[in-house]
Amino acid sequence: EHCELAPGVHLLRGHALDELEPLLAALRAVIAAAPLRFMRTPGGRRMAVSMTNCGRYGWVSDARGYRYSPCDPLSGSPWPALPAVLEALAVRAAACAGFADFAPDACLLNRYRPGAGMGLHQDRDERDFTQPIVSISLGLPATFLLGGLQRSQRPRPLRLEHGDVLVWGGPARLFHHGVSPLREGCHPRLGAQRLNLTLRCSGLDA
């Protein structure tokens, strides 16, 4: 099932389910090498969502600001490689949505526990806004908030479920978005959590 929610926002329901077990095995290996951790905002507050990365670059936040880094600050080592199963899934989803040459070099892995959410924001730490972003949702469902270019635009709630893949680019690339606090629950495969993978092209190698 494929629908365009707004120009440039494509929802591919259940797209991540075909290769779920290889995907989960790959994520387990990523988390073993680069553990999930609560980063701090530049203002010093602990984020509600725990995060890690894989791929050539990882998104990090600390007192120095938000940026992409080739190394995990916890270990000083490069982030784990982007698993082939994950890259293939993201490239295929982007192509389905009309973005033929998606070349992700960064994957942020977010883990939401019940009660955790993400405030309305734009993804603008990348250098290349011509490339789309692909987001994969696993585990407990979440209410995603889809806003517009203007922060003042009232966001539209959208339920994202286990296996859903969202691609956004073009006119939607800089839309505001957020995630409502996760409801309590226990997913049969993933337990009391939601995992979100966000694949991006940082543009750092350009």
Q: Residue 110 and residue 53: Cα distance in Å, rounded?
A: 9
30 binds ligand MD3 (CB under 6 A): no
Q: DSSP state, 78?
A: B
Q: Give the per-residue contact string, 111-130, with ligand MD3 (x = CB under 6 A; - = no).
A: -------x----x-------
Give me the least distance between CB of 192 and Fe ion, in Å please: 23
Give me the least distance between CB of 193 and ligand MD3, in Å please: 12
123 binds Fe ion (CB under 5 A): yes
- Evaluate the CA torsion angle 127, 169, 166, 193 in order and state its sign: positive
Q: Residue 128 and residue 126: Cα distance in Å, rounded?
A: 6
Strand partners, 138: 195
Structure tokens at 160: 């994202």
Which is nearer to ligand MD3, 2 or 76 (by Cβ)?
A: 2
Give me the least distance between CB of 190 and Fe ion, in Å please: 21
Which is nearer to ligand MD3, 76 or 154 (by Cβ)?
A: 154
Q: Residue 160 and residue 83: Cα distance in Å, rounded?
A: 23
Q: Give the per-residue contact string, 153-182, with ligand MD3 (x = CB under 6 A; - = no).
A: -------------x-x---x--x-x-x---
Number of residues that bind Fe ion (CB under 5 A): 1
- Evaluate the CA torsion angle 52, 55, 61, 63 in order and state its sign: positive
Is residue 109 part of an annotated ligand binding site?
no
Q: Residue 94 and residue 36: Cα distance in Å, rounded?
A: 26
**According to CB under 6 A, which one of 60, 94, 146, 201 is a site residue for ligand MD3?**
146
Structure tokens at 133: 């972003």
Is residue 197 part of an annotated ligand binding site?
yes
Q: Residue 44 and residue 49: Cα distance in Å, rounded?
A: 15
Structure tokens at 144: 């995603």
Is residue 177 part of an annotated ligand binding site?
yes
Which is nearer to Fe ion, 87 or 123 (by Cβ)?
A: 123
Q: Residue 60 and residue 72: Cα distance in Å, rounded?
A: 8
Cα dihedral angle (183, 193, 187, 146), rounded to 10 degrees?
60
Q: Which residues are part of a known binding site for Fe cation?
A: 121, 123, 177
Q: Which residues are part of a known binding site for substrate?
A: 59, 66-68, 125, 151
**Binding positions for ligand MD3, rule: CB under 6 A:** 9, 108, 110, 118, 123, 135, 144, 146, 166, 168, 172, 175, 177, 179, 196, 198
**Binding positions for Fe ion, rule: CB under 5 A:** 123
